[in-house]
Amino acid sequence: MKFKGQITAIATLVLAGVIPHCAIAQSKEISVQTPGGQHVRVSAVSDNIIKVSNWNAGETLPETATSVLNGQCGTVSSSTAPGICVMTTGGGIVVRVDSLTGSVDISAGPKRSVSDNGLRTLAGGQRRLELSTVGEGSFYGAGERGYSFNIAGDTLVMYNKQNYGYTAGEERIRQMNITMPLFLSSNGYAVVFDDFAAASMIMSNPIVYTSESRSPISYYFINGAGSLASVTRELSALTGRQKLPPFWALGYITSKYGYHTQQETLGVVDTLKRAGYPLDGIVLDLYWYGKEEDMGRLAWDQQQWPDHKKMLADLKEHGVNTVIISQPYILRNGRGLENYNELASKGLLVKDSTGGPQEVKIWVGEGGMFDVSNPDTRSWLSERYKALTLEGVGGWWGDLGEPEVHPETGIHANGLSAREYHNLYGNDWSSVISDLFASEFPDRRLMTMMRGGTTGLQRYSVYPWSTDVSRSWGGLQPQITIMLNSGLSGLGYMSHDVGGFAIDPDAPYDPELYVRWLQLGTFSPILRTHAQATAEPYNYPDQQHIILPLIKERYRWLPYNYTLAYENASQGLPLVRPLNFYSSGSDRFDDITDEYLWGRDILVAPVMTQGATRRSIVFPDGLWVDYNNPGRLYNGGDTITYPAPLEVLPLFVRAGAIIPQADYGMQSTEDYRTDRYTINYYPYLGKSEYTLFEDDRKSPGSLDEGAYSLINFTGEASIEGINLDISSQGTYPGAPKVKDLTFRIHLVDGDPSSVSVDGHKLKRGAWKFDRSESMLTFKIKWNVDKPLAIHIR
């Protein structure tokens, strides 16, 4: 919109022959310089993503982005008119830049519009910009946020912060350990500010972003064509996608603060194994290097761990991978002193204003802080991580990485102050390990547990968790909200300390809470129990009949869950998804923070209230089948009260879904097989499709190298019968040529008259129909080189 005064000003400039003009560079970007010397550049990163840069006279725009992957590959068409430059991307984003004022209008369809007035205020060392939005809607994301799913109306601080023992509803969990200056709209678009400095983002209209960055700030507009699913695909293409996980990371991992000795560690594993628990990992807290004050030593305590190499090898032989802790600090008051003196003398610690080591005080002592912006510090750390990995360490735990204590007087080797660098510290620390594995262990997948960082953190194979949550019902309740906002922001593996970490001395032991938390954890990206005490499941003897089957159920879902990992690696889709993930322009589930989609086809509704034996459930679009009782169906939009005694996790399957499972016992993921599946089909009128992912489960580059298989299932149900077509594409080393498939066809009204496989009718005794379950079961062997057609009449 133009006002009379603006039109008059343009006319005056035209008559004077000095009207600003638009420059069009290689049909990829447009740039403007206003009469006041302000620069505006709009470039197409892709057909659905544009970058807007705006800087004042005398300033320099950063050459490369930090939060996102650099690139420019969009297709655009451009045009100019007096005072206006227009660019249209191949994905339908229309950008209008006013060459007089520097204002930018961006539109990608109804309700997918933002306006930037072009003003960049500099006051008190802070930069401020405003974006006006069009159309009502909700906002999500901004990293790890636990106060509410919808962040509209919030004032969000972009400065990573630890919240020990937090619970639901506390104001402090608006600001948590991983903050990201970005938001997604329920109307199907997103905005990412390419910034990592301390900042705030006021989610009003206009949205006000204020940063302490000394450099001009660019932002990206992402067109998601109306749905959050599309937005996350585009967002992850911009900020980076996480590689496939080590397969063992999808199993059960035990952890505690902490296992003090080699003997205790082996005893815990032995007790779990003897009780029948499958186990894939154990996490060692700070006692692996000695006492708390030995932080930064980065060497095993030989007294308590006399033969740690043999321990690591023995555990690995039994399918158990060992993860050890590391922190950003190195203390002087313990056995880390020698390392401290070396690093201080070489200038490898964060410095103070005098050029000496910045003094850091944490709860266990005093010392310094690794400056991971310094290439030499990175090399020093990398060498020690390498040596420990060669000894048999299977994964890494980066604790305190906000960083929890980060003196504002600190100065980093890259010239940034503590407040400028604080949020980025976790990314750079994670990249030390990621770079090490890429160069020294290129055949190994990486798991790094990290609790601090900012936009793009997922690029470094990070598996974050929601830190030191209270062991209480109030601690359990915000975990879904945290996983949802984090997942939409790019952190598809955000999880939590199952059972609750920070114990209330007045209520240290709550078996009901442990079971309910474990039910949520079974359908969380990472299943890891962790607490200050009684963390392991065998500590709850009266609930073993619930707990043991739950953890075994985790392994039963490995085919489905690993396919979710593939969807994350290939498309950027989070494993935990909001109920409106696939709904265009919908915000009607904003208040539902105790349900979520596990992938596309599973609705999880855990009980999160003490003493509850039933709960209200709202169903998203579609028809839903009760997983616990497949004879019960519910329509999308319905609200029901569902009976849920302690042993029941409310779980529902989208009608039409095809769900692969591993229906056999495992001691660890080492027992997983790709030549044997149980295929559950919940037929619904019309066509259904599902793709199962397979690879060798070890190679980091299986996707890039095309060393994987996709098993495509197509189901179609009609009044005449049910058809299932199965085909395979691609292969990988060790891929089986023949698969044993057990089919469970649910929702079958009656005993079929025939079951045919590739035109050959099975003998009557080759299938079983369970009338009470309305389920048809049969088994076949399938040669994957040939498509398979099944017809049920």
Q: Report the alpha-carbon distance of residue 729 to residue 22 in Å, rounded.
A: 49
Active-site residue 402, yes or no? yes
Burial class (CB in 10 A: 0-12, 13-18, 19+), 19: middle
How far apart, in whole angstroms, are the C-alpha atoms of residue 740 and residue 755? 17
- Of 187, 197, 184, 114, which is closest to residue 145 (Cα–Cα)? 184
The catalytic residue among 399, 510, 595, 716 is 399
Q: How far is Cα 348 from Cα 356, in angstroms, rounded to an integer? A: 10
Whether 548 and 272 have beta carbons less than 8 Å apart is answered as: no
Please check whether residue 516 is in contact with residue 608, taking contact to mean a CB–CB distance below 8 angstroms.
Answer: yes
* DSSP bridge partners of 201: 156, 209
Residues 6+ apart with CB under 8 A from 150: 138, 139, 140, 587, 590, 591
Q: For residue 90, give Cα distances in angstroms to 95, 358, 462, 681.
A: 12, 50, 33, 39
Beta strand spans in 173-312 (E): 182-185, 189-193, 199-202, 207-211, 219-223, 252-255, 281-284
Active-site residue (options: 468, 510, 567, 716): 468
- The CA distance from 759 to 755, in Å, is 9
- Note if 621 is an active site residue: no
Q: Where are the beta strands (DSSP E) in 144-213?
A: 155-158, 182-185, 189-193, 199-202, 207-211
Q: Which residues pair with 195 in a beta bridge?
A: none
CB proximity list for 187: less than 8 A, separation 6 or greater: 111, 112, 135, 137, 226, 585
- Measured CA to CA, the distance from residue 707 to residue 470 in angstroms comes to 43
Of all helices (H) and strands (E), which one includes residue 12? helix 4-16
CB neighbours of residue 744 within 10 Å: 20
Integer Cα distance of 701 and 699 in angstroms: 5
Single out the residue of 162, 158, 160, 159 nearest to residue 362, CA to CA. Answer: 162
Annotated catalytic residue, options 144, 293, 402, 594: 402
**Token pair belonging to 395:** 């994964």
| Whether 307 is catalytic | no
Q: Which amino acid is at 137?
A: G
**What letter would DSSP give residue 762?**
P
Please spell the DSSP secondary structure of 410-472, one letter per residue. Answer: -B-TTS-BHHHHGGGHHHHHHHHHHHHHHHH-TTS---EEE--B-TTGGGG-B--B--SBEES
Active site (catalytic) residues = 399, 402, 468
